[in-house]
Amino acid sequence: MDILGAEGTWFLDVDWCLAHGVAVQSLTQRAAEMVVLAPGVLHWVRSLGCNTQVAWNFGLCSRPQIAALSQRYLLNETEIGFRSVLPGQTLALDLANLMGHLPPDLLAHLKAVLDHAWHRSQDHLARFRTLHPNHPAFQKYDRSLETIMMCLDCKEEILNYYLLLDSHLLSNERNDGKYFCLKCCNTTLLDELRKRKFKDTRLFYKLEVKDVEKLQANLSRRIKDEKFKPKPIASLKEKWQEPVSILTYEHGKR
């Protein structure tokens, strides 16, 4: 059984575990009950009928947590093609902003995630420009920095470039998440966009290329700096209050 390949469909065989001396606990969760698991506990959930459930995941700014997050993100993206549940790109950006507090080995993990996500984003942009040579110009949309953006079509996280309908842009409410990534604009939405010639649509980007390149350069410098000593994690309190996914490289200079 390829457990990674069967992600989301494979369920633990309790009898097999018991027969091989693997300790297992099971329970039936009823309405209004909460189940709390310790960090790193392997667990499976199976629905016994129609239900609504909410799962809260908590992470620590620690070596094992950051390393595991980065490794699993790249595993999902490059080997098994499984959509990551957590917004790994945005989280990697947030943590990269705190590079003055993280050791070189963790910065290397974060840089691997960001390099992969950025190269893929640029590849989708190049393909988009080839398929849609007369597309409107991309505009900077600062309000998008407040939101973890997921494509409405493929449900994947959007790092930078995206398409949005004007009707959603003009809403007085906070943007309701009707974004489309360039990968979908190049595939599932290709014929529709060509048919409507981008009518009632607008194109945006979140991050400046020069800022991303500067962040990558600063990460590389810190990773190679043998004399660098991270600042205490306790001094992070104020920095966590900043808006999610704001791309700054100033923290790395302090």
What residue segments make up the domains of the chain, in order of their start? 63-209
- The CA R_g of the chain, rounded to the nearest whole Å, is 21
Residue 90 to residue 242: CA distance in whole angstroms: 13
Task: Provide the pLDDT for residue 253.
Answer: 38
pLDDT (mean) for 184-196:
90
Per-residue pLDDT at 238 exceeds 60: no
Indicate the pLDDT class of residue 115, thresholds 50, 70 and 90. Answer: very high
pLDDT (mean) for 39-67:
79
Per-residue pLDDT at 75 exceeds 80: yes
Indicate the pLDDT class of residue 79, thresholds 50, 70 and 90. Answer: confident
Per-residue pLDDT at 20 exceeds 60: yes
The residue with greater pLDDT, 45 or 228, is: 45
Stated pTM of the model: 0.74
Per-residue 3-state assignment (H helix, E strand, C coil) for the chain = CCCCCCCCCCCCCHHHHHHCCCCCCCCCCCCCCCCCCCCCCCCCCCCCCCCCCCCCCCCCCCHHHHHHHHHHHHHHHHHHCCCCCCCHHHHHHHHHCCHHHCCHHHHHHHHHHHHHHHHHHHHHHHHHHHHCCCCCCCEECHHHHHCCCEECCCCCECCCCEEEEHHHHCCCCCCCCCEEEHHHHCCCCHHHHHHHCCCCEEEEECCCHHHHHHHHHHHHHHHHCCCCCCCCHHHHCCHHHCCCCCCCCCHHHC
Task: Provide the pLDDT for residue 50.
Answer: 84
201-205/139-140 β-pairing: parallel
Per-residue pLDDT at 228 exceeds 50: yes
CATH class of 63-209: mainly beta
Task: Provide the pLDDT for residue 150.
Answer: 86
